Every structure is written in structure tokens, then in C-alpha cells.
Amino acid sequence: MESLSDQIRSCRLCAERFAATATGHSPRPVVWFRPGARILVAGQAPGARVHDSGRPFTDPSGDRLRDWLGLGPAEFYDLSRVSIVPMAFCFPGYDARQADLPPPPICHRTWHAKVMRELGAVPLTVLVGGHAHRFHLGTRSSVTETVRAWRDHAPRVFALPHPSWRNTGWLKKNPWFEAELLPVLRARVQEVLND
Ligand code: SF4
């Protein structure tokens, strides 16, 4: 029987939606998870570079996220350690301002529960960006409020802003994120990897 990962790789549910975007691209699901992983990175959706590479976070956002986690590429891309499950597995395209469109809800409606069932319990979940916060925490708070309340969910869950260059100003305005949250997150990453 076809594995869940292969079923998702074959998914073309959003073909018409993506064809109607400015990029007119075809679905290319980027699937990166395996049961037994110690860390779940719950992200938003692949960007254009990841759409091209077929590997999650192969872009400057990924460099920043790996720095936040204190992981090099070899550990980050080790499927026995890290699973990466976004709200949508494909690049959604751009809006009129050249920002990424939101992840199509049909993706998490179709796949998310199945993926979570297959993954089972994961000791550390890292939520990346507001879409992931809202879905996994059921919150309606702003990204800043949710991240600022990180102690409410640690050490099993850490809510982070998106590591995009667009949030560089946010990082400057919120120095507590790097000074207080990141050292605890990095220690937790090492703890679950070495457990
Ligand atoms: S975004 Fe999700 S639902 Fe849409 S084509 Fe890709 S895998 Fe399928």
C-alpha cells in the first residue's frame, strides 16, 4: 500500500488554484516527516525557493531557523531527529505585493490529522509563524502576544515568529526573544536529541 508520504507527494488538489496565481505553478508537495522524530517543526508553507529545491527551509528563513534551534544542516535534515510539517505542503504563490499567499486550508483539512496520527507523540514541537500558532494552539492572539507568552507552552511547545527577513524589524523591536527565549529553546533541542 502507498505510504502516507507518497500519497501526499502525489496530491494535486490545488492544481487549479495554483495555476490561477501570478506564478502559474503546479503543485509540488514538499514532504519531510518520519515517525520517531524528536522535534516537529510545524511551519506555514514552502516558499518559492523551497518549491524549486524540493527540500524544506533551503532558504534564508531556514538559515535563521537553524540558528534559532542551534542546529546545523546535517542534524536539521536528519529525518530521525526532525520532522517538518507545514500547514500546506506546496508553495501557495504570491499575492499582489509579492508576499506569499496563505496556505490553502484544504491541505491541512486533507492531510494534517493523518500526518499527526502517523507521527505520534513528539517531545518538542516548534511552531513557526502565526498560521501554525492559530492552528496548533487555537489562539487568536497576535504573533507577538503568543511568542511573548512562550513560557505558557514550554518545554513541549515553543511558538516562534516566522524566520523570514520580513521579521527582522520585529526581532529588533523584541530583544527578549533572542535574549530569553532562544537560549531555553536551544537547551531544550539538545535535551530531546540526547534523551
Ligand atoms: S497544498 Fe496540500 S492539498 Fe494542495 S496540492 Fe499541495 S499537498 Fe495537495
* Cα gap 133→158, rounded to integer Å: 10
User: In angstroms, what is the span from residue 129 Cα to ligand 1's centroid?
Assistant: 19
Whether 135 and 87 have beta carbons less than 8 Å apart is answered as yes
Map out the domains of the chain as residue ranges: 4-194
pLDDT tens readout for residues 46-55: 999 999 999 9
pLDDT-based confidence at residue 99 (cuts at 50, 70, 90): confident
Q: Is 138 exposed, middle or buried (0-12, 13-18, 19+ CB in 10 A)?
A: exposed
Residue 96: predicted pLDDT:
81
Closest alpha carbon to 73 in 47, 53, 55:
55
The response to whether residue 12 sits with its C-beta less than 6 Å from ligand 1 reads yes
- 25-64 pLDDT, tens per residue? 999 999 999 999 999 999 999 999 999 999 999 999 999 9
Residue with cell 515568529: 161
Q: How far apart are CA 145 and CA 137, in angstroms?
A: 13
CATH code, 4-194: 3.40.470.10
Ligand 1 centroid to residue 109 C-alpha, Å? 10
pLDDT at 67 exceeding the cut of 90: yes
